[in-house]
Structure 1
Amino acid sequence: MAVFDVSKFLLEEEVFSSSATKSPEKQREALLKFLVIIAIAISLESLVFIFDAGSKDITTLIYPTFLLIAAILLVVGLGVYQKLTRDEVT
């Protein structure tokens, strides 16, 4: 499902739209949308791996945990990016 979402996004952004006429705001939205799709896919995969490792062999639980931590750091990084690049409306 995540592969379908990523391929649909790339098709919409790279094939159907003209990147030369995009404003920086539209490019920022596209980047955020792409990274959110990736973060969701990583989070779901890590949760599946955690439950699989927890039921089979508890010693392999560290690798999916690192994957989940990476997904969390990606979401936090996205939040920081949005905070730093937002337009100040006064």
Structure 2
Amino acid sequence: MAPSKHFQKIIPIQKLFLNVMRNILPLCYEHLCVITDFEMPLMNSVQNVMPDNKLIGCWFHYCQAEIESLKEMAKRTQVRGLKES
């Protein structure tokens, strides 16, 4: 799935921010572990700017997304049940 126009505009800004951050913050970036939510444009930007770093998704955001997904499935199931009645 191609990124939306909104995300296509955000990715260069995120890459610029990450490059500026790398140049300003005196950290050892060689073995850095970057934790993000599961927003693909941000994850892609991190991988492009810091390809040698470990990138992982945030457990909290993963659980939050799963709960929302289950709620949405329950709503659809209820609606389907009403239509069949």
Q: How high is the TM-score relative to the length of structure 1?
A: 0.35
- Larger-gyration structure (1/2): 2
With normalisation by structure 2, the TM-score equals: 0.37
Structure number with the higher helix fraction is 1
User: Which structure carries more strand by proportion?
Assistant: 2
